[in-house]
Structure 1
Amino acid sequence: MSRVADVKDEARSRLRWFAVHGVVRFFAERGIKIGDPQAKLIADPVTRANPGVVYQEIRDRGKIVKGRVAYLTVDHGLIFDLLRSDDYRTVVVGGNLPKPLRAIERRTRTAALHPLAPPSLLSVEPPSHTRYRKLVSSVFTARAVNAMRDNVQQVADTLLDELVAAGGGTVDIVSSYCAKLPVAVIGDILGVPEADRDKVLEFGELAAPSLDVGLTWSQFREVEQGLEGFDGWLATHIAGLRDNPGDDLMSQLIAASEDGVYLNDRELRATAGLVLAAGFETTVNLLGSGINLLMNNPDQLARLQDDPSLWGTAVDEMLRLESPVQMTARVAKGSVTLEGMDLEAGDLVVCVLAAGNRDPQVFDDADTFDVGRSNANKHLSFSGGRHYCLGAALARAESEVGLRTLFDRFPHLSSAGTGIKRDTRVLHGFRTLPVALGEPATVSA
């Protein structure tokens, strides 16, 4: 019986991959040959290595460009408005597929939660979105985030003490620091036992490409494995917190209600999973990219060492230049005219955040890293409107404290080789980044 079940599961998975990713990949690979910009962004390895060329192609063609299956925009002002417009909704996985493929996706989907499927905050709109966000915001307050800043500092100091004790030298700064810092902080927030944190890291790594389209079969299988494992772990974790609540924010969220209505188990798993994954993914990518920028721009690091008050602006500049989330999308709710183009209900608009962040109409010398840039905080990296990132303040605090503490402890930190970028299109960051720590600075007692 188990063998038959395995065969059925394999067949179901292949059908789902075909409907959601396989067809998209097939047409994207052909679209590359005719120069379709969206096809390049989906399946062209050359574009993946240097997307700026395609971003400029789109910019040269106008504020909005029609691809084979979606509209694209790299214009900062247009993206800003789209993210706040009530004429558009967020994307739901499989929601924009042709009807036959949509039917296959629905029949073959697993029970595991997906970040782009309801009840995830990323995929729902009011009134559900309003209710979920209000409950999360009642726990994830500015005061709570500020209180976490001391915890971030303690975790950073401990991790760097461990590097010093290990003898320093050459390390992969992503695995030894960038990943450990946010998972420890968000783990404390959500009551994740230390023994489970490596497991959460593993699930997160597997599931990271879940926001992409056009995955290969092997990538898809890893994503499904990560999502199913993460969902199962979350169910057990939440059940444990229900029985033995702590003083963590997850326990508070379980107990929170609006007019006597609580989040059910599926809503809790979706919300906790998104907070955990987003809180980790955004920060680990930003830390790695920030370290790389500072190693490659020693003049800017020197400015920060001379004037530490610039660290907050520097983090915004890092978010602008190396957006941890490269793009998002919106779907027209009905017929609407956008920059002279007539869109129908269901039409998809891809907002390339990373390109909007380098719009020369908004940012002078847009490709230059400037830790004192006066309008660095105009970046789009945390999205906007009702879907503005709930964890933005925490991500900024973790990155500012984490980077400042690292370079204070290791002021001569330098590159020890070429890093490896993550094999994802929506999420952007380093999978590995070798550095030479150099001599540590003396830490006063």
Structure 2
Amino acid sequence: MRPLYWMRWMSVQGAPRLALKAYARRGDPLAQLFGDPATTHDPYPLLESIRARGRLVGGPFARMTVEHDLCRSILRDNAMGVRAAESFDIPRPLRGLTTLAPLPPNPMEPPSMLVIDPPEHTRMRRSVSAAFTPRAIGRLHARVESVTEELLDALPANGSADLVADFAAQVPIAIISEMLGFPHSAKDRFLGWGDAISPLLDIGIPWPSYRSAVAAIAEMDAYADEHLAKLRRSPGEDILSSLITAGELDDNDLKATASLLMGAGFETTVNLIGNAIVQLLDHPDQLAKLREDPELWPNAVEEVLRFDAPVQNTGRVALREVEYEGIRMPKGTTIVLSLAGANRDPKVFAAPDRFDITRDNAKDHLTFSSGIHACLGASLARMEAVHALRALFDRFPDLQLDGLPQRRPLFTLHGYSHMRANLGRRHAEHTTPV
């Protein structure tokens, strides 16, 4: 099968990769955003250069906007739909090669909620929405607290740790695993699969990354088959057991939903927690405010979501002819929405490049998207981050990074892969966050 998957990669990733690099060398800002690895570390200067070019900028594969109001309008427009990252404007002969090597159910292809429109999206989202209501998330609070405290207890006082691998990733993976009925022993496998699959959200990824993603999808699919079979024999109180009992989704639907919830359940949160640690240590005056007034923690998390968004981009495709900013665009036109750029729109956020945990409209960010595809687990991510961050800085008040943290080489998901830290003394009496 390897030659067929290589052909698939060439059609949906390899050809765009070559084109992006060529346009990036010519100075095209949209191509630079996706074709220049340097922008993964600090995309914001490039986003401002795109803003200077206009409200809706043309590019080789798609149009793009960094404007808050325009992003929000497009996200809420029923004339705009979603599709997989692999389906940008690829020539038809190349696109046909994708049928030669179909992938098992995964977060980036239908029937995943991420890449389907109503009425299919409505049916799929309705089936799992009950697990993410405010009341349901509230019931998880005590478990988030206990998981966080167990992880902090395991970190060595006056020692060092990787705050991504040893902490930021462990809180959300434990919670979403339990919500889906997966055993605790499987969490490391899911973390590995998530790291391997997440590059598929980008355009033009290299062949080794694509090959690793395909292998991870196959392994995850085989594991999901076994797990669903166990839940059918002995259902629990988890989301997947409820979906199996309801009988509204077939196996492909169930596996696509499970893989999406597992990935979304920790990818955004681990990046959020890691980004927050770096920003707070880089801005000690803001961390001091949090120590003086812990009630600011929820707003601090919103400011991190705005200032250094863990999800940087999304896209929409015109389901029929549309017009924005006086530009008429035919059906099939793709628009890339820079959530990170929208979050630093100076027309919405005063001094947008300033990190300010007391910002009164920080929650107006678009990191969790908007409209019918708004992040289902946004409340859970917020709750996990607030508790984990406050508990970490309470427990280790002298925490400092040990060298520069390592950024993930991704364009859509924005976070750190490694973050070595010297923990310092352990606070003898740590408070329990609200």
Please indicate the TM-score interval, normalised by the length of the shorter structure: over 0.9
Q: Deviation at 1:49?
A: 3.0
Aligned amino acid, residue 75 of structure 1? E
Give 1:132-281 correspondences, 5 Å limit: 132-163=124-155, 166-256=156-246, 262-281=248-267
Question: Is 1:101 aligned to 2:94, yes or no?
Answer: yes
Question: C-alpha displacement at 1:135, in angstroms?
Answer: 1.2
- Match for residue 295 of structure 2 among 282, 306, 309: 309
Q: 2:390 aligns with which of 376, 383, 404?
A: 404
Consecutive unaligned residues in structure 2, runs of 5 or more: none
What is the distance in 2 between the residues matched to 1:411 and 1:312? 19
After superposition, the Cα gap between the structure-2 partners of 1:15 and 1:444, relative to the gap in structure 1 and judged at 3 Å, is closer
Q: What's the CA shift for 1:391?
A: 0.3
Give CA-to-partner distance per residue, 1:54-93, whole Å, 9 cap, x none: 2111100111000011001000100000000011100235
Distance 1:53 1:368 in 2: 14
AA aligned to 1:400 is V
Q: 1:94 to 1:157 in 2, by over 3 A?
A: closer
Q: Deviation string for 1:6-54 (max 9, x for gaps)?
A: xxx1210110011001110111111012211221112113333332222
| Residue 65 of structure 2: aligned partner | 73
Once residues 216 and 90 of structure 1 are traced to their aligned partners in structure 2, the CA distance between those partners, rounded to angstroms, is 24
Partner of residue 106, structure 2: 114
- Indicate if the aligned counterparts of 2:128 and 2:239 stay in contact, CA closer than 8 A: no
Tell me how far 1:101 sits from its aligned partner: 1.3
Report if aligned partners of 1:83, 1:385 keep a CA contact under 8 Å in 2.
Answer: yes
Tell whether the 8 Å contact from 1:289 to 1:318 is kept in structure 2 after alignment. Answer: yes
2-structure distance, mates of 1:385, 1:16 = 32
- The alignment partner of 1:262 has SS state of coil
Do 2:369 and 2:375's aligned partners in 1 also have CA atoms closer than 8 Å? yes
Superposed displacement of residue 444, structure 1:
6.5
CA deviation digits over 1:341-369, x for unaligned, max 9?
Answer: 12111110000101110111110110111
Match of 2:305 among 319, 324, 331: 319
Percent identical residues: 41
Matches within 5 A, 1:296-375: 296-375=282-361
TM-score between both structures, scaled by the size of structure 2: 0.96
Task: Determine which of 36, 41, 54 is the counterpart of 2:46.
Answer: 54
Letter aligned with residue 232 of structure 1: A
CA displacement at 1:186 relative to structure 2: 0.9
Q: Does 1:33 find its partner at 2:25? A: yes
Q: Note if contact 1:117-1:123 (Cα within 8 Å) is conserved in structure 2.
A: yes
Q: Distance in 1 between matches of 2:237 and 2:114?
A: 27
SS in 2 for 1:281: helix
**Equivalent-residue separation in structure 1 for 2:360 and 2:46 (angstroms):** 27
Tell me which amino acid in the other structure corresponds to 2:423. L
Letter in 2 for 1:361: K
Name the structure 1 match of 2:376: 390
Range with bigger deviation, 87-96 or 233-242: 87-96
Q: Is 2:301–2:382's contact at 8 Å kept on the other side of the alignment?
A: yes
Q: Hey, what's the Cα distance between the residues in 2 that align with 1:205 and 1:48?
A: 16
Aligned counterpart for 2:56 among listed residues 41, 59, 64: 64
1:6 corresponds to? none
- TM-superposed deviation, 1:167: 4.1
Contact 1:94-1:105 at 8 Å conserved across structures: no
* RMSD value, Cα: 1.4
CA shift, 1:248, in A, is 2.2
Which amino acid is 1:266 matched to?
A: N
Q: Cα distance 1:93–1:326, how it changes in 2: closer, same or farther (>3 A)?
A: closer
Q: Offset of 1:94 from its aligned partner?
A: 4.1
Partner of 1:66: helix, strand, or coil?
coil
Distance 1:33 1:413 in 2: 41
2:69 pairs with 1:83 = no
Say if 1:182 and 1:280, in contact at 8 Å, map to a contact too.
yes
Whether the 8 Å contact between 1:115 and 1:211 is mirrored in structure 2 is no
Q: Which runs of 5+ in 1 are unaligned?
A: 1-8
TM superposition shift of 1:237 = 1.4
Cα offsets for 1:204-230 (capped at 9, x unmatched): 111111111101111111111122212
Maintained 8 Å contact 1:169/1:437: yes
Are the counterparts in 2 of residues 139 and 253 from structure 1 also a CA contact under 8 Å?
no
**Superposed displacement of residue 333, structure 1:** 1.1
TM-score, length basis structure 1: 0.94
2:411 is matched with which residue: 425, 438, 445?
425
Q: Aligned pairs, how many?
A: 430
**Which secondary structure state, in structure 2, belongs to the residue aligned with residue 214 of structure 1?**
coil
Separation in structure 2 between the aligned mates of residue 355 and residue 66 of structure 1, nearest angstrom: 16
Provide the C-alpha distance between the structure 1 equivalents of 2:253 and 2:200, rounded to a whole number of angstroms.
19
The answer as to whether partners of 1:140 and 1:249 remain within 8 angstroms in 2 is no
